[in-house]
């Protein structure tokens, strides 16, 4: 069963969060050879999805994933509530595991660019 975690994304900003993946026995899962994907949708039935960038980086032996979204992508999101999940795929893609899922709240931004003066 996937962990539940609700997140907040500030519209127009860079978003990043880390996730540590554990095995069923509670030990940290080695993600060597795994890939991962995560998406955000307005509802579970929505056809359009906005992907997160998911990195299985240098800490992959420690079960560490980083889920992020660039500022130019979050700027295009309409403020409101969304759903998301993060899945990992074994090297052969025969084993798919949903690691975490939840609600994303996108908060509206005010500032429209770094070139504006105060």
Kindly list the structural domains of the chain, giving each domain's residue range(s) and its CATH number in brackets, ordered by start.
3-107 (2.60.40.10)
Q: Is residue 60 classed exposed, middle or buried when 0-12, 13-18 and 19+ CB atoms within 10 A define those classes?
A: middle
Confidence of residue 58 (pLDDT cuts 50, 70, 90): low
Position 61 scores a pLDDT of 58
Position 110 scores a pLDDT of 85
> Which tens digits make up the pLDDT trace of 67-90?
999 999 999 999 999 999 999 998
pTM of the predicted model over 0.75? yes
Contact 15, 47 (CB under 8 A): no
Contact 75, 109 (CB under 8 A): yes
Q: What is the mean pLDDT of residues 2-30?
A: 92
Position 93 scores a pLDDT of 76
Position 23 scores a pLDDT of 83
Contact 89, 68 (CB under 8 A): no
Position 118 scores a pLDDT of 45
Q: What is the mean pLDDT of residues 18-40?
A: 90
Parallel, antiparallel, or unpaired for β 3-4 and 80-89? unpaired
| Rounded Cα–Cα distance for residues 27 and 25 (Å) | 6
| Rounded Cα–Cα distance for residues 60 and 96 (Å) | 17
In 3D space, the residue among 64, 46, 45, 44 whose CA is nearest the CA of residue 54 turns out to be 64
């Amino acid at each position: 069963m996937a962990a539940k975690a609700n997140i907040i994304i500030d519209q127009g900003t860079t978003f990043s969060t880390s996730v540590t993946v554990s095995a069923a026995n509670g030990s940290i899962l080695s993600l060597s050879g795994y890939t991962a994907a995560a998406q955000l949708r307005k509802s579970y039935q929505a056809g359009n999805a906005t992907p997160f960038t998911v990195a299985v980086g240098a800490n992959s032996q420690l079960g560490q994933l980083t889920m992020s979204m660039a500022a130019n992508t979050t700027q295009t999101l309409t403020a409101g509530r969304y759903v998301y999940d993060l899945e990992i795929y074994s090297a052969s893609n025969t084993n798919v595991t949903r690691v975490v899922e939840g609600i994303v709240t996108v908060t509206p931004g005010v500032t429209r660019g770094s070139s504006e003066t105060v």
